[in-house]
Amino acid sequence: MELNDFAERNKENLGFVSLDAPLLSNLDVWINIALIKQYHENLSAEKARALVLSYLRKYGMEHIAEKRNPALTSKERFCAMLIRAAMVRDAVIVIDRPFTVLTDVKNDRFICDALKVVENSFRECHIFDYMWHKERYRTATA
Amino acid sequence: MSLFKLLHNLPYEGIMINAITRIGAKSINLARTFRDTIYFATVIILKMFSKASYSSAMRVVLVQQIYFTSVQILPLFIGISIIFGTLLMGIVLQIVKNLGLAEHIGSIIMDIVVAELAPFVTVLLIALRSSSAINTEIAVMKVNKELNTLEKFNIDPVDYLFLPRVINGVVSVVLLSAFFSILVLTSGLIFSKALFGLSLESYSNVLLSSANFYDIVISLIKCCTFGFFITLIPIRFGLNATNDLTSIPISVLNGMVDVFIAIVFIEVLSLILIFI
C-alpha cells in the first residue's frame, strides 16, 4: 500500500516518523515532543515536560531534552521522533524509510528495541521502506 | 477609437504596448497581494476570537514571543528612547519657547510626541528586529519541511505559529509605545522645568488638559494596526518561500519592503483620520 494513502486513512491518529516531518529546529527536543499533548489535549507545560522526560529516561536519553535537532545523533533523533509519534492518542505509528533517519544503523535491531520501549503507547506500527532494504529487516526476527 | 487602435497609430506602439502590459501585470500582482493579505488577516482575526485557538502549546509560544519582542529589546529600546526622546523633546521645547508658544506646550507634546512619534519609533524598532526574524523563521521552517511536520500531526499552523506572533506584535507595539511615551514625557518634565520653570504638578495638569480622548483612541488603534501588520506580513511572505534555500533572502527582502510600505500607509491613514 502507498504510504500517502495509508497516512491519509489514519490521519487522525497518525504518529509519523520521517525526515519529511522533521523535529522543529528552533525548539528543544522536549518541547517538540510535548507539543503534541499540549496542543491536542491541552496538557500543561509542566505535566507535558514530566511525561516527556519519563519517556526519554526509558531510552537513557534524558540529556537530550534541552538539545535541538541539529545537535542530535541519528539514534537520538530517531528516538525523539518515535516518542513524539507515541504521544498521539491511539497512535498509528508510521515509520517512513527508517534508515534515512538512522544513517549509521545496519539492520532493524535498533528499531525493534526502540519500539519495544514504547510498545504500550501506540495501537499499531507500520514501517514503509524500499524493497531493496528487505534484507536489513531480517535480523531482529531471526 | 479604441485604445488598441489608437496605440497602433502611434510610433513605437510596440514599446507602449509592452509598457502598458507591464503596468497591468504589476497592478494585478499588487491587487492579488492586497487581496491575499486581507484574506489572511481575516483568518487570523477570526482565530483570535476563537477559544479553541488558545491551547497550552499556543500560550507557551505567546509568552515566549512576548519575551523575545518586548523584554529582550528593553536595553536597546530604553537607550534609544532616552537619547532620541530627550534630544527631540529638548529641541521641540526650545522651539516652542523661541516662537512664544508656551501656552500650547501640552498639545504639542501630546500630539507630536505621544500620538505620532512614540508609535512610529516603536514600530520601526520592532519591525527591524522582530519582523525580519519572523519572516526568516517561517521561511526556514517552510524550506526545512517543518510546516509539513505540523500538518502531519494535525497541528494548525495558524493556531500554533501565526496567531501567537500576531498577538505578540499587537501587545508589544502598544506596551513599548506607552513605555516610550512615559520616558519621553519624563524628559519633557526636566526640560519644562529648565526652560519654562514648570513644576511637576503644573506639567501634569498641562498634559492632562491637552489629552484628547479621540486622539488617544486613534493612537491605540494605530499601535494595534501597526503591531498586527508588521507581524502578519512577514508571516505571509515567509510562507511564500519555496523548498529552495535561496528563496529565504528573497522572501525576507520582499516581506520587509511590504512591512515598510504598510507602516507608511497606516501612518498616513492615521494622520488623515486625526486631521479631518
Q: What is the pLDDT of residues A61-86, one digit of tens each?
A: 999 999 999 999 999 999 999 999 99
Mean pLDDT score, B210-216 = 83
Mean pLDDT score, B66-77 = 93
Going from the C-alpha of B184 to that of each of B79, B104, B171, the distances in angstroms are 12, 17, 20
Among B30, B49, B68, the domain-final residue is B49
How much is the pLDDT for B276? Answer: 73
Mean pLDDT score, A40-49 = 94
How much is the pLDDT for B2? Answer: 62
Could you read off the pLDDT of A87-114 as tens digits, one per residue?
999 999 999 999 999 988 888 899 999 9
Mean pLDDT score, A20-31 = 94
Per-residue pLDDT band at B94 (split at 50, 70, 90): confident
**Quick one: B64 and B142 in the same domain?**
yes
Q: Are A77 and A101 in contact (CB under 8 A)?
A: yes
* CATH code for residues A3-137: 3.40.50.300
**Quick one: B114 and B185 in the same domain?**
yes
Q: What is the ipTM of this complex?
A: 0.90
**Quick one: B120 and B4 in the same domain?**
no
How much is the pLDDT for A142? Answer: 41
**Cα B105 to the center of its chain, rounded Å:** 28
Per-residue pLDDT band at B87 (split at 50, 70, 90): confident
Interface check A12 vs B, CB under 8 A: yes
On the question of pLDDT at B147 being above 90, the answer is: yes
**Quick one: B152 and B223 in the same domain?**
yes
Q: Are A37 and A106 in contact (CB under 8 A)?
A: no
Q: Which residues of A touch B159 (CB under 8 A)?
A: 39
**Quick one: B260 and B240 in the same domain?**
yes
Residue B117 phi, psi (nearest 5): -70, -45
**Are B153 and A7 a contacting pair at CB < 8 A?**
no
On the question of pLDDT at A34 being above 90, the answer is: yes
Strand partners of residue A124 = A92
**Quick one: B195 and B214 in the same domain?**
yes
Q: Which residues of A touch B243 (CB under 8 A)?
A: none
Mean pLDDT score, A113-119 = 92
Q: Which residues contact B200 (CB under 8 A, 6 or more apart)?
A: B189
Among B49, B66, B81, the domain-final residue is B49
Find the angle CA(B18)-CA(B252)-CA(B118) to the nearest 5 degrees. 110
d(Cα B263, Cα B125) in Å, to the nearest integer? 12
**Are A7 and B152 a contacting pair at CB < 8 A?**
yes
Could you read off the pLDDT of B27-53 as tens digits, one per residue?
998 899 889 889 999 999 999 999 999
How much is the pLDDT for A139? Answer: 60
**Quick one: B34 and B69 in the same domain?**
no
Name the residue among B118, B38, B40 with its Cα closest to residue B84: B118
**Quick one: B181 and B255 in the same domain?**
yes
On the question of pLDDT at B10 being above 80, the answer is: no
**Quick one: B23 and B151 in the same domain?**
no
Mean pLDDT score, A37-56 = 95
Going from the C-alpha of B24 to that of each of B6, B17, B31, the distances in angstroms are 18, 10, 10
**Are B154 and A23 a contacting pair at CB < 8 A?**
no
**Quick one: B20 and B111 in the same domain?**
no
Disruptive mutation site among B55, B60, B64, B152 for chain A (greatest number of A CBs within 10 Å): B152
Could you read off the pLDDT of B179-202 as tens digits, one per residue?
999 998 888 888 888 888 888 888
Bigger pLDDT: A140 vs B245: B245
Query: What's the grid cell of residue B145?
Result: 519541511
d(Cα B204, Cα B202) in Å, to the nearest integer? 5
Name the residue among B66, B69, B41, B83 with its Cα closest to residue B236: B41
- Coil, helix or strand at residue A130: coil
**Quick one: B58 and B107 in the same domain?**
yes
Name the residue range of residue B83's domain: 54-275
The number of domains in chain B is 2
Q: Which residue has the cell 501597526?
A: B226
Handedness of CA B81, B85, B86, B87 (dihedral sign): positive
How much is the pLDDT for B189? Answer: 86
Q: Which residues of B touch A35 (CB under 8 A)?
A: 57, 153, 155, 160
Could you read off the pLDDT of B131-145 as tens digits, one per residue?
999 999 999 999 999
d(Cα B138, Cα B240) in Å, to the nearest integer? 9
Per-residue pLDDT band at B8 (split at 50, 70, 90): low
Going from the C-alpha of B127 to that of each of A132, A137, B63, B89, B141, the distances in angstroms are 52, 53, 19, 24, 20
**Cα B191 to the center of its chain, rounded Å:** 30
Rg (CA), chain A: 15
**Quick one: B63 and B45 in the same domain?**
no
